[in-house]
Structure 1
Amino acid sequence: MIQAFGLTSNPRKELPPAVDDVSFEARAGHVTTLLGAPAAGKTTALRLMLELQQGRGLTYFRGRPLHRIAHPSREVGVLLGDVPGHPARSVRGHLRMLCAAAGVPVRRADEVLEVVGLVSLRDERLGTLSRGMDRRLGLACALLADPHTLVLDDPADGLSARESRWLHGVLRAHATQGGTVLLTTADPKEAARTADRVITLERGRLVADQEAADFARTRLRPRVAVRTPHAARLAALLAKEARTAQRSVEIVREEGNRLAVYGSTCADVGELAFRHGILVHQLADEIGDMGPGAPAAKEPDPPQPAVQGTAPAHDTARPFVYSPATGRPSVYSPATGRACVDSPATGRACVDSPATGRACVDSPATGRPSVDSATTDRTSADAPAASPPAQTQPDVRPRQPPRPSGPRPLAPLPSLPPPISVRPAPSPLRPLRYELRRAAGVGTGFLIGAAVLVVSALTAVLLARIGHTPQPRLLAAWPRELPLPPAALGAGLLGALAFGDEFRHPALAADRGTVPRRLGLLAAKLLVSGGTALLLALLTLGCDAEVLYLVYGRELAQVPADWLALSASWIGLVVGCAWAGVLAAGVFRSASAGFAAVVAVPVIVVPLVQKAVEGAAVRTAAGFPLRVREVLLTQWPFGGERWLAAAARLVAQPVGGALTLSLTALLCAYLLTTLRSRAR
């Protein structure tokens, strides 16, 4: 159950808020629809409920606000806009990554793919999916963790009639099993046909909160949909007859040969068309719009099997056939081979094709059709209303094959993925699995690494040709004119993409739309980015040394004498840049901002640190390791004082000190934002 209280968005300069004091409930076991024209505030209301937008109000999901739920994706399945994912990631890889993020078994990805019908497209990239397939994948992402509540923003937008019926059937099945479904739409007919409760928004305010039946009765207008090649003539005749009878009839000429007649009935329109010899291709009762300003009516859907919980589709091609027995027009359906004849005595009588010799008569007393056989004596009171097939149907319709007797069963509800049970306790390996699948699911990291190796090797060859470059800088391909070597810049970019890429393509849409600020996830990202940076640093040194050896010989590829200290400094620089990118992207929610923070370390922070170090000082930190050993009164194992001295020298360097300072500041900022999000 969803309970929303006083949802109000922040004012927009001189404009009123997009949502102003909206309160409603969405009960479990029901499909609730937020209805409104574009810019009515539907999407803003959902974003306020999911705490994705600043504003006032409170929303409870089964009695708890979203930020108080330990695992939001297991409680709320969300689809806002397009599927949130990197366009280069495969369908199955995206779902497997979300399985690791939500803590559900990886086999769940294949289960939901089978339910939404995307098994054959599991290796396709997200960027190549059509609109309909994108909607199916979005529903699969929402159902992945078996949530109780589904919150969907216009899920049928851009879908065909068949795909829309499938989607609403799945949502109805979820509600039938006790779940809560909340979706938005701009089509009032769709809301009346598929929802149990309709909540109408207009200009950010709540206009009505009604049951679907009351909504269709009070806010929608019934109409007769007519399709005929003589639409103009029929419209003129209907208007003339309405003036003669002094009745209020509204006739709207829609696109094509379609008329919408308000204030009349199918019988009156059909009789008028028959008397004047007008051919009619469609005649059906429909739910009309909400008056002026409502969305344009959509094309009628083709005949489809009835689905439990949804309204049956109208027959779209019914030519008129005259019945001599009743003197009234009947409607023949080629799809069923039956003609329906209006009878004043019984209401309606349906006569089957001559091949079956059966008549189905609606009885006003029972409200159910009675079935007569051609071989029995028809003594029922309703029998005279049904004309013999030879008299009722002229020889203009095709022969139909016999149909089985008895009522046609309803189509079953669409199947849902089976329920799953997950471990309530968080696993420390779950964020690590998620991060590994996120990093390896697209080729961006591999391309960046290959580009770094190529640029670094070319830079090393060019520096060796120019000369006047020290051996350590030559192996690192770090000219003095650049703030950082290519390996450090590449590691910083990979670290920035670890968070920034998810904010551009949110992977955890159910977890408040962005990556949750959890220390376990941060530790996993730091571990993976650090390992990637370490591998990149070692590969860069190896490639540079090998290229220098191949081009210039062994002299330039020799290992320096103090290789241990230089290696520690080199690894610390590359790994520190990667971590700075991760933290900066997590704080600023942008990959470009994270990479800019990495570049700002040598450009802005290093000069400040140099000025602070080169300034006048009365005392220095010489002998720091010895004094620490004296304080601890213990011997450093494995020559620990040497490692401590090397670390102190690394931090004392301008770049090392600036990087350490930046990492400390970014980590504090990240922790501060984490505490703020948890305190909300």
Structure 2
Amino acid sequence: MLQAIGLTSAPRRGCDPAVRDLTFEARPGAVTALLGAPGAGKTTALRLMLELEPGRGITYFRGRPLHRIAHPAREVGVLLAEVPGRPSRTVRGQLRLLCAAAGVPVTRADEVLEAVGLHGLQDQRLGALSTGMERRLGLAAALLGDPHTLLLDQPAVSLSPREAGWLYELLRAHAADGGTVLCTTDDPKEAARIADHVVTIDEGRLVADQEAADFARTRLRPRVAVRTPHAARLAAVVSREARAARRSVEVVTENGNRLCVYGSTCAEVGETAFRHGILLHQLADETGDTGPALTPALAPALTPALAPALDPEPAPASGSAPASDAGAEAEPTAGAPSSGAPLAGAPSSAPSPGAAPVPGAPEEALAAPDAGAPSGAAPGPRRGSDAAGAHVRPVLASSVVRSRPAEAGPRAAAATPGGALPGPRAALRAQDADPGPLPPPLRPKPVRSPLHPLRYELRRLLGAPATYAVTVAVLVASAAVAVLLARTGRTPLPYVIAAWPGLLPLPPAALGAGLLGAFSFGDEYRYPVLSSGRGPVPRRAGLLLAKLAVTAVTALTLALLAAVIDLEALRLVYGGDLIPVPENWPLLCASWAGLAVGCAWAGLLAAGIFRATAAGVAAVLAVPVLITPLVQKVLVGPSVRSIAGLPGRLRELSWTHWPYEVDRWLMGAVHVVAQPVGTALVLSLTALICAYLLTGLRRRARW
């Protein structure tokens, strides 16, 4: 069960909170729809539940808040937007990457691909997927950890009716297995059709908390849609004849020349227009929405027999329709909607299961199938419908059942002592009353992901085609430069093998290692797979160590391949006689490896600090272009001191005895670091590590 208690978002400067004191629950085994117009706060509410937005309140997933769940992906599946991923990555590679982040076996990727119908497109690139396929991939990512609860934000947006029907059938199957499903929508008819429970919000506040059948009866009504160039004249005529016939008719203007007539039929409206010579462009039956977004253009035509229905304490009247408790939440004023339309922002009451049937209510309308079901979709049985699985059709506005105070929201229940139904003034006072002390502030927390950092980083590196493209480009460029440098015979052999001419700031292998290192963190911010809309990229020590280890191995492999291919290219073009083995080859190999690893780490750390791949590449280029000349100015000059005997002094300081062979390797490392480029790399890496730690600590302090 999902329980959201007192969710209140932090107000932005000059604006009210997007969500204010929102409390509701979503039961297991049912699909719950969070309904609201665009901008009502639906997405903000979901982000508050996932602890991504600063604010107040708490959400329990089966009795535990999200930050106390060891494996969040196995408890909550989230689809807030499209699944972010590099467009060149395959569908299977993307899901396997998410498997490493969620800590589930890699075989789970094939299982969810089969479940969502993407098994035949497993090798398709993400950039080539259609909108429907992207939604299926997002649902597969949400189901990857086999979660109990699904939170989906507008899952059927931009989908065809057939794809939307398939999506909702899959969600219903998940609920039938005992799971909890909460999805947002802005279409009341869609909410009544696909959900077992509907929670309506407006301007961040709870408006109604109802079962789907009760929601359809109180929120949706049949209406006649009319389009005419004489809309104002037809509205006045229909209202005048309704008052003369003592019938309850409501006329609402939409988009200038369109009218919606509630409480009438196509035949009556058509006959009225014919008698008065009014041209009609459209005349059709529809199911209308009487929610907070409905704005009446004219005062409804009400008969004296319906006047008691607007009184806060209605008196029974023979021959008149019973008063609506939901429609009695506000006193009637000129231009106000009729009793069938709930007051905007006021809690709408839900009918009680044990309430007596309404006299005069058309019982056949309750069992009629929903005319708004999409073509091509075959909805299954739903709780609250008849045995045949037909959806409950909304009845007329005059057919009203008595509400249950406990379901009208916490404030309305608190303002109604003794279980009495609240009147309109009491409901308004309860809505505007002080909600009392709120729970402690809720701070956004980083996602504990990936659960397997090393496996995740390896799949991220090997699953991106850019890795292979950069590697091939570096090896080809390095071989070509080495052959050109050896042609003149003036370049020293180590620089020829490294393919490092004086015109280039760095050899191709070092530049490629730095670029791959910048991709390591740059992709996390450009394609935030780890966050997936759930907040910032985590600054975990395990993730950083995994990235450092993988980039170091990648840089060493690239440097080794570049040196070997350069040697083979030189032997192929000029023969092997011109390539003698230098005496200080161990020192040269150490310098070459240190240069490659240093450039890779510089690109990695800079991209993590500045959240961009370009920043990582700039940091790599800054080492030879900016930092190395400064170091040379400091190191060049006469020196009266020497570091000779440093290993012996270190042995005395540490009180330990190591083999004397270590002294030679230690002095070699000191000579490597003492080079201008080596010193510049050490200084750059030290500054980048300190900056990375400081930015991580500052962000953690904000959490």
TM-score normalised over the length of structure 2: 0.69
The alpha-carbon deviation at position 569 of structure 1 amounts to: 0.5
Match of 1:457 among 472, 479, 497: 479
Distance 1:654 1:32, change over 3 A: farther
Q: Does 1:540 align with 2:562?
A: yes
Give the alignment of 1:56-135 within 5 angstroms.
Answer: 56-62=55-61, 64-135=64-135
Matched pairs, number: 558
Q: Which residue of 2 aligns with 1:489?
A: 511
Q: Which residue of 2 aligns with 1:480?
A: 502
Q: Does 1:436 align with 2:450?
A: no
Give the alignment of 1:135-154 within 5 angstroms.
Answer: 135-154=135-154
Distance 2:451 2:215 in 1: 52
- Contact 2:97–2:456 (8 Å) recurs in 1: yes
Distance 2:587 2:482 in 1: 21
- Contact 2:494–2:588 (8 Å) recurs in 1: yes
The alpha-carbon deviation at position 171 of structure 1 amounts to: 2.7
Counting aligned pairs with the same residue, the percent is 56
The alpha-carbon deviation at position 45 of structure 1 amounts to: 4.1
**Structure 1 portions without partners, runs of 5+:** 314-335, 337-425
Q: Which residue of 2 aligns with 1:222?
A: 221
Mean Cα deviation higher: 220-229 or 3-12: 220-229
Letter in 1 for 2:205: L
The alpha-carbon deviation at position 568 of structure 1 amounts to: 0.7
Output one character per residue of 1:475-494: Cα deviation in whole Å (capped at 9) or x when no partner. 11112232221111111111
The alpha-carbon deviation at position 436 of structure 1 amounts to: 2.0
Distance 1:72 1:668, change over 3 A: farther
- Contact 2:84–2:532 (8 Å) recurs in 1: no
Distance 1:160 1:200 in 2: 26
Mean Cα deviation higher: 111-120 or 135-144: 111-120
The alpha-carbon deviation at position 186 of structure 1 amounts to: 2.5
Letter in 2 for 1:99: C
Distance 1:575 1:31 in 2: 52
- Contact 1:77–1:510 (8 Å) recurs in 2: no
- Contact 2:132–2:163 (8 Å) recurs in 1: yes
SS in 1 for 2:380: coil
- Contact 2:165–2:379 (8 Å) recurs in 1: no
Q: Which residue of 1 aligns with 2:328?
A: none
Distance 1:308 1:617, change over 3 A: farther
Q: Which residue of 2 aligns with 1:448?
A: 470
Q: Does 1:302 align with 2:375?
A: yes
The alpha-carbon deviation at position 452 of structure 1 amounts to: 0.7
Output one character per residue of 1:37-60: Cα deviation in whole Å (capped at 9) or x when no partner. 33444334434543545x333543
Q: Which residue of 2 aligns with 1:198?
A: 199
Match of 2:682 among 648, 657, 660: 660
Give the alignment of 1:35-50 within 5 angstroms.
Answer: 35-50=35-50
Mean Cα deviation higher: 605-614 or 582-591: 605-614
- Contact 1:476–1:485 (8 Å) recurs in 2: yes
Mean Cα deviation higher: 480-489 or 124-133: 480-489
Q: Which residue of 1 aligns with 2:651?
A: 629
Output one character per residue of 1:602-654: Cα deviation in whole Å (capped at 9) or x when no partner. 23333443344448977554422121123344443471111111111122222
Q: Which residue of 2 aligns with 1:640?
A: 662
The alpha-carbon deviation at position 293 of structure 1 amounts to: 7.5
RMSD: 4.3
- Contact 2:33–2:183 (8 Å) recurs in 1: yes
- Contact 1:500–1:591 (8 Å) recurs in 2: yes
Output one character per residue of 1:208-257: Cα deviation in whole Å (capped at 9) or x when no partner. 2522559846983512367999x99xx899779647636464567999x9
TM-score normalised over the length of structure 1: 0.71
Q: Which residue of 1 aligns with 2:587?
A: 565
Mean Cα deviation higher: 116-125 or 508-517: 508-517
- Contact 2:161–2:376 (8 Å) recurs in 1: no
Distance 2:130 2:633 in 1: 57
Distance 1:288 1:270, change over 3 A: farther
Distance 1:597 1:39 in 2: 42
**Structure 2 portions without partners, runs of 5+:** 297-370, 391-447
Distance 1:176 1:495, change over 3 A: same
The alpha-carbon deviation at position 574 of structure 1 amounts to: 0.4
Letter in 2 for 1:593: A
Letter in 1 for 2:523: D
Q: Which residue of 2 aligns with 1:381?
A: none
Distance 2:664 2:657 in 1: 12
Letter in 2 for 1:519: A
Letter in 1 for 2:8: L
The alpha-carbon deviation at position 91 of structure 1 amounts to: 1.3
Distance 1:304 1:497, change over 3 A: closer
Output one character per residue of 1:639-675: Cα deviation in whole Å (capped at 9) or x when no partner. 1111111111122222212222332333344445555
Distance 1:2 1:462 in 2: 70
The alpha-carbon deviation at position 456 of structure 1 amounts to: 1.7
Give the alignment of 1:243-254 within 5 angstroms.
Answer: 245=245, 247=247, 249=249
Match of 1:578 among 590, 600, 606: 600
Q: Which residue of 1 aligns with 2:404?
A: none
Q: Does 1:263 align with 2:263?
A: yes
Distance 1:597 1:151, change over 3 A: farther
Q: Which residue of 1 aligns with 2:541?
A: 519
- Contact 1:102–1:145 (8 Å) recurs in 2: yes
SS in 1 for 2:77: strand
The alpha-carbon deviation at position 115 of structure 1 amounts to: 1.7
Letter in 2 for 1:496: A
Letter in 2 for 1:78: V
SS in 2 for 1:210: strand
- Contact 2:225–2:286 (8 Å) recurs in 1: yes
- Contact 1:18–1:40 (8 Å) recurs in 2: no
SS in 2 for 1:647: helix
